[in-house]
Amino acid sequence: MKKNIGSKLALYPMPITVIGAMNGDKPTWTLVGHLGIIGHDHVMVSLAVPHFINGKIKETKKLSINLVDENILPQADYVGSVSGSKEDKSEVFAYEQGETGAPIIKDAPLTLECSVADIYETPNFESFICTIDNTYVAEEHLDEEGKINYNTLKPVLFEFPTYHYLRTGDVICKCLSLKEKQSKE
């Protein structure tokens, strides 16, 4: 029998990301674990209302979602420790602007360049619902068919209850390859 521990945020681990937005002619960066996929063409980024980056996203309607690997984890952790309202974080990452102007972290293994389609408000949070304009991937993480290889990319995962970063593990098997085994049992 499982124990009911009440209403808990428990859908972990999930990839940790750095969200980027332009602040005038400089970027600003914020560490975010709470994001999601909506259908097959929207993503969601959930940000606490007091964060500095929210206003910049609302001004430009553009943001980037940068996956974090272990190489950029120290800088990523840093941009989650201090607000852009207190400190200029624009020089933490080398960047270039994507086609629509969102700042793209050069050393991030993968970046989604997004446009804001809507904002879903809940108490103290603004969740930015976005379309994906472009996806920039370090070439070493693309296989021969041009597909993203998450085994080499190894996004760092995040777990809120104990506030830990985790590594991804091994491939178990291909999806839907287990259904025959299951139906024979």
List contacts with ligand FMN (CB under 6 A).
16, 28, 30-34, 46-48, 51-53, 80, 82-85, 158
Hey, what are 164's tokens? 């830990």
Q: Report helix, strand or coil for 14.
A: strand
Q: Identify which of 35, 23, 30 has the alpha carbon closest to the alpha carbon of residue 160.
A: 35
125: left (phi over 0), alpha (psi -120 to 50) or beta: beta
End-to-end Cα, the chain, rounded Å: 24
- Cross-strand bridge partners of residue 165: 158
Residue 129, Cα to own-chain centre: how many angstroms? 13
Q: Based on CB atoms, which residue is closest to ligand FMN, 33 or 98?
A: 33
Nearest approach, Cβ of residue 177 and ligand FMN (Å): 33
Q: Based on CB atoms, which residue is closest to ligand FMN, 136 or 158?
A: 158
Q: Based on CB atoms, which residue is closest to ligand FMN, 13 or 80?
A: 80
Nearest approach, Cβ of residue 135 and ligand FMN (Å): 21
Nearest approach, Cβ of residue 124 and ligand FMN (Å): 9
- DSSP-derived secondary structure letter, 7: S
Q: Based on CB atoms, which residue is closest to ligand FMN, 52 or 93?
A: 52
Nearest approach, Cβ of residue 82 and ligand FMN (Å): 5
Q: Identify which of 54, 60, 67, 59 has the alpha carbon closest to the alpha carbon of residue 128.
A: 54
Count the Cβ atoms, other than its own, within 10 Å of residue 103.
27
Hey, what are 42's tokens? 């929207």
Nearest approach, Cβ of residue 67 and ligand FMN (Å): 14
Q: Based on CB atoms, which residue is closest to ligand FMN, 36 or 132?
A: 36
